[in-house]
């Protein structure tokens, strides 16, 4: 079994796609609507092939953050630069080193409140 993609519910599809393509360099790959036309799904892919599904259901303009969803991680060249440059929508955790994992990390929110972890390997 392998992870195919995380799916994020969003309140504004165009805003979400713009955030992930402009701020995190994902590329839109394909899309579809449910047969009833109520839900739009757009798929984005990162340079390394990781896919992200964004889903917008008609008339859903507010999301509740559940307890089962935590975050997804993306690798970046510089956590500090990404943290400063990305037009994020809230700081969850400022850049810090995690020696046990050999990484530098930071956590921010996207426009709908989903948490994104930036990960950079520490130099040995």
Q: H-helix or E-strand containing 108? A: strand 103-109
Residue 16's SS3 state is: helix
In CATH, 1-59 is 3.30.565.10: no
Where on the phi/psi map is residue 113: left (φ > 0), alpha (ψ -120 to 50), or beta? left
| Sequential pLDDT tens for the chain (124 residues) | 466 688 899 999 999 999 999 999 999 999 988 888 899 999 999 999 989 999 898 888 887 766 557 688 888 999 999 999 998 899 999 999 988 888 999 999 999 888 899 999 998 6
Cα torsion through 46, 52, 57, 58, rounded to 10:
0
Note the pLDDT of residue 66.
64
Domain residue limits, the chain: 1-59, 70-124
Alpha helices in 12-102 (DSSP H): 13-18, 79-85
Q: Strand 72-75 vs strand 115-121: parallel, antiparallel, or unpaired?
A: parallel
pLDDT at 46: 93
Superfamily of chain region 70-124: 2,3-Dihydroxybiphenyl 1,2-Dioxygenase, domain 1 (3.10.180.10)
Instruction: For residue 71, give the nearest of 92, 47, 54, 53 by alpha carbon.
Output: 92
- DSSP class of 102: T
Write down the pLDDT at residue 1: 46
pTM of the entire predicted model: 0.76
The residues assigned a catalytic role are: 117
């Amino acid at each position: 079994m392998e992870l195919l993609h995380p799916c994020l519910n969003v309140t504004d599809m165009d805003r979400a796609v713009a955030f992930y393509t402009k701020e995190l360099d994902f590329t839109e790959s394909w899309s579809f609507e449910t047969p009833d036309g109520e839900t739009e799904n757009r798929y984005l892919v990162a340079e390394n092939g990781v896919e992200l599904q964004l889903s917008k259901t008609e008339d859903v303009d507010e999301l509740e953050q559940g307890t089962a969803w935590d975050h997804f991680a993306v690798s970046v060249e510089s956590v500090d630069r990404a943290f400063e440059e990305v037009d994020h929508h809230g700081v969850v955790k400022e850049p810090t080193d995690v020696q046990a994992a050999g990484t530098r990390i930071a956590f921010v929110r996207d426009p709908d409140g989903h948490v994104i972890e930036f990960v950079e390997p520490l130099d040995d």
